[in-house]
Amino acid sequence: MSAALDGIRVLDLTRVLAGPYCSMILGDLGADIIKVEAPGGSDETRTWGPPFKEGVSAYYLCANRNKKSLTLDLKSPEGKEVMEKLVKDSDVVINNFKTGTMERLGFGYDHLKEINPRIVFCSITGFGETGPYQHLPGYDFIIQAMSGLMSITGDDQSGPQKLGVAITDILTGLYACIGIQTALLERERSGTGQKIDLSLYDSAVSSLINIGSNFLMTGKIPERLGNHHANIVPYQTFRSLDGEMVIAVGNDRQFAQLCAIVGQPSLAADPLFSTNAGRVENREKLSRILQELFLKKDTAYWQSRCQEKQIPFGPIQSLEEVCKDEQLKAREMFLTCKHPKAGDVGMIGSPLKLSRTPVDYKQHPPEAGEHTEEILKRLGYDKTTIQEWKKDHKV
């Protein structure tokens, strides 16, 4: 059975996380991904660690399966020639160079669309290709700080906190996937590709959702609420007799059921707590009452009771517990990939579950230049030429 994106060829000139994450998703869905790096490998995550396994970085492995690797010197005449041939035969080009770099290399969108008018060109930068910050470098940590995300993460004691993963890279990678597939769909009508200009900064600000909306409506700078919700109570962490847990009450009916579970049904009728608005206004008082009650039983007890009443509940799990979770096993969210250098490596699977065209894990994260000869042969270069170029370190 053909994969969902079978026949789509993507030239991936990105490194680190946002771009590689995007192209990995496209590769999981069946697109032919050619990862283009400088000779020797220019994706910085190849050296980010430990941990390493036989010299292979865990960080690199997380975002680079289902790709083939081509090493190319884009500044050399030979490299430019190969790149132009690839563009002519491709559907998508993704890059995350700083603004203006692709133009300086001779591969800006205006030139590439002359070679292939159907090309979809996706640019990922820290701040976008317009505006006063367009030439500034932007890593996830910087973007989390500037976007307001850190200002609302943490609590009064902790101060501003970043999320535990590079969330703005992940968000931008997802937006890039959406933009690319949208442009490919539109191309079916118009016959013409287009340029997508994505920035980590824009993506991060878009994720402010209700907190951003609250500020735009009121002008009030939001507090850092830690593990509390700005608009819903109780929607937070609590300590149990043996651990920590999250309870997320979304409406008054669920709150009444929770009050019955903890043995205090009268709380649901109390004018201070009977509505969500009242609970938000009186969050500290209600949280203290509930916390005292939750300390009387262990997490498993509260989980069982809440699940009986369909109250959203989750124990706070370590990654060891996550990897043993039967639900995630049933959803095939962990897999083992055979790597020619690192051997068997564990990977997190795709959350995309398509009924007719499921994702497939066909290709291990490649070593730098692993498929250079294969790709150049496909473009019509003979073995002698390929060996000469390799000798000169140009491919």
Active site members: 169
* Beta carbons of 247 and 235 less than 8 angstroms apart: yes
Comparing CA positions, the residue from 120, 112, 116 lying closest to residue 185 is 120
CA–CA dist 385, 388 (Å, integer): 5
CA–CA dist 7, 395 (Å, integer): 25
- Which two three-digit tokens encode residue 264? 């205090």
* Beta carbons of 204 and 149 less than 8 angstroms apart: yes
In the numeric block, the tokens 């579950």 are attached to 353
- Which two three-digit tokens encode residue 71? 């090493």
Q: What DSSP assignment string belongs to 143-208?
A: HHHHHSTGGGSS-TTT-S---SS-HHHHHHHHHHHHHHHHHHHHHHHHS---EEEEEHHHHHHHTT
Most distant CA pair in the chain: distance in Å?
A: 85
End-to-end Cα spacing for the chain: 34
